[in-house]
Amino acid sequence: MAVPIAKCLAAYAFLLLISLIFPHVFADNAVGDSPHRRFEYKYSFKGPHLTQSDGSIPFWIHTGNAIPSSDQIRITPSLRSQKGSVWTKNPVSFEHWEAEVAFRVSGRGRMGADGLAIWFTAGQGLEGPVYGAADQWNGVGIFFDSFDNDGKKNNPAVIVVGNNGQLFFDHQNDGTTQSLGTCLRDFRNKPYPVRAKITYYQKTLSVFINNGFTPDKDDYEFCTRVENMIIPETGYFGISAATGGLADDHDVLSFLLFRLAEPGQNLPPPEKEIPKEEKDKYQEEFENFQQELDKRKEEFQKEHPDAQGQPIEDLFESVNDREIRQVFEGQNRIHLEIKQLNRQLAMILDEQRRYVSVITEEISKRPSQAQSGQAPTHEMETIINTQQEVMRNLNELRNSLSGSLQQLAGGQQQGNAGGLGSYETVQHFNDIKEHLHVVKRSIEHIIQKNGNPAEKVKCPELPSLPSCLSTTHFVIFIVIQSLVFFGYVMYKSQQEAAAKKFF
């Protein structure tokens, strides 16, 4: 009997330990099956093409210093004392819901401020002192606080604060005296976007955080849970942020809202949720857009009468046209490269001619030399012969390049006139390939020819150049650089110590 009882006690202890470490797993199982989800596009946004042509966000409004773009919304830039927010235009009246938010909080400093907040409130808190939104809100706010106001070294942190519309937020204590749930999570300067999943189901608010260390979007960790959470039946979703004496970029990449329903209950069809007035409004907007499109089509046809009746296939590039265009572009690049090589060869030839003329003048100045001077004269003649041979090889190489250029030009003229046939195109490319091989062999031959005489002819040694920096100057430079560096470090430390948070 002792052995079975011991096994049961060990199993019970193991389950108890697991329930303490992962409480959300057992809580989810206690609720029952997972609820049904339906995506609500009218209360969501996500890039790309996040904004319209006029800079507005469909179904959302932005205020303050918020800057919408095609792939994200910068709630506040990294400047001091900035505030911004985005809010849904229409109220939400879902009994159960789940929101997934992807954002980045990034800054150059070791510390940041102030933070970012996700709201569900009875009214739109467009501007105010609580992370850029209004105080005394009626609803719930999930705060991502970056700055440690109370000096307890418990930031960055995620804090859940509820309000009935009568309380003022406790800034000095970072809202810890009013928090319903909190967890310590560092969400600044992560390699991937930080993600927050906020679920309100059966009067229970749960917060899960993806720390942004991996690209896995579903790698969530449990943060906090608030039981018996009462929120307004109808409210607005919003995201706000603010900066103080320190500043961060607060960027929101997406906000996705899902409506939840208990197992066994069917979600109402989307058509029944849209009032008739709103339907008529959207239909009128569509008809106006269609009329504007037809009007612009007529104006285009009047301005471009030649385009009338033209098949749409002729307006786009076919596969054969694209291949021919790529062939011509490749020929143009080869043509430009060969022209550049031809110019470089011409410069080399000019240099060789100058060398030969200088050596010839030097020899002509000393027509009669003593017996002791005959050896240098022989060496001079060897150098002249080598230079002349190099010039001949370079001339041949230049003529070969000129021939390649002419063939390329002829091929391009043929293509522009009526298009190259398959055989002619292959033949031209084969000729160009052979000429390039000739150029390569000629260059290798020139290198071999230049290598042998250089081993025989001994050039006079040049005197060593004097040092441009003495030891004393070098030591003085190092000392000055060290003083400047330490002065900059001390100045930076004083600036960080003097930085304070402002509201």
pLDDT for 159 beyond 80: yes
Helix axes 374-418, 422-456, angle to 10 degrees: 170
Judging by DSSP bridges, how do beta strands 67-68 and 204-210 pair with one another? unpaired
Q: Which two tokens stand for residue 333?
A: 């690049």
pLDDT, one tens digit per residue, over 301-336 is 888 777 665 555 555 667 777 788 888 888 788 878
The neighbouring-strand residues paired with 37 are 260
Q: What are phi and psi of 435, to 5 degrees?
A: -65, -40
Give one DSSP letter per residue of 41-75, joined into a string.
GGG-EESSS-S-TTS-BTTEEEEET-EE-SS-EEE
Measured CA angle at 165 (ends 161, 166), to 5 deg: 95
Helix and strand numbers, DSSP H then E, in the chain: 8, 16
* Strand order through the sheet with 60-64: 60-64, 83-88, 236-242, 115-121, 138-145, 157-164, 179-184
- Domain 43-265 architecture: Sandwich (2.60)
Specify the 3-state DSSP secondary structure of 182: strand
d(CA 501, CA 503): 7
> Domains of the chain: which residue ranges?
43-265
What distances in angstroms separate CA 484 from CA 474, 475, 479, 480, 490, one per listed residue? 16, 14, 9, 6, 10
CA distance 120 to 87: 10
Q: Which two tokens stand for residue 498?
A: 């003097």
Reported as a single tens digit per residue, the pLDDT across 453-493 is 434 444 444 445 455 556 776 777 777 877 788 777 777 77
pTM over 0.75: no
Per-residue exposure over 156-169, b if at least 16 CB sit within 10 Å of its own CB, e if not: bbbbbbbbeeeeeb
Q: How far apart are CA 458 and CA 379, in angstroms?
A: 9
DSSP 142: E
Nearest CA-CA partner of 127 in 188, 80, 77, 75: 75
- pLDDT reported for residue 269: 67
For 400, the token pair is 């070969």
Give the sign of the dihedral formed by CA 271, CA 274, CA 280, CA 285: negative
Does 130 have pLDDT greater than 80? Answer: yes
**pLDDT tens across 237-274, in order?**
999 999 988 889 999 999 999 999 888 777 766 655 56
Q: What pLDDT is stored for residue 463 in this prediction?
A: 47
Distance CA 314, CA 192 (A): 45
DSSP class of 373: G
Note the pLDDT tens digit of each residue in 377-414: 566 666 667 767 766 766 776 676 666 666 655 555 55
CB 255 within 8 A of CB 98: no
